[in-house]
Amino acid sequence: MRCKRMVCVLALCILAGAVFAQGAEGQEVQTETPAPAETTSIWRYFAAALAVGISCIAGGIAVGQIGSAAMGAMSENAELSGKALPYAGLAEGICLWGFLVALLILIL
């Protein structure tokens, strides 16, 4: 379990580094400082992407753990299937909240 998390974090760091490297290659050297609005718009998109990405990864991990526990419980007692469904829905709600936060970041 710890190894999977380490791989996910490492992949996110590599992806973030690639995004910054790609953006730095296309820029020319500027003698004057950019306007604050230009700088904040770039960080808004980055923050929105992080909000959605991290919340979806966390939601996926939560749904995986809840699903495996629910399947184990249902194999012993079939009546527990209705009780496990709301917990999976709550875990999927994490992704929805990340998406809503990203929309608020981009709109405001």
CB atoms within 10 A of CB 107: 8
Please check whether residue 66 is in contact with residue 91, taking contact to mean a CB–CB distance below 8 angstroms: yes
How many whole angstroms from its chain centre is CA 103? 14
pTM: 0.62
**C-alpha dihedral sign at 21, 23, 26, 29:** negative
- Say if CB 108 and CB 41 are below 8 A apart: no
CATH number of 44-108: 1.20.20.10
The Cα 16–Cα 54 span in angstroms is: 13
Give, for all 108 residues of the chain, the pLDDT tens digit.
666 776 566 566 566 655 555 555 555 555 566 666 666 778 899 999 999 999 999 999 999 999 999 999 989 988 888 888 899 889 999 999 999 999 999 998
Separation of alpha carbons 104 and 83, rounded Å: 33
User: What values do phi and psi take at 75, rounded to 5?
Assistant: -70, -25
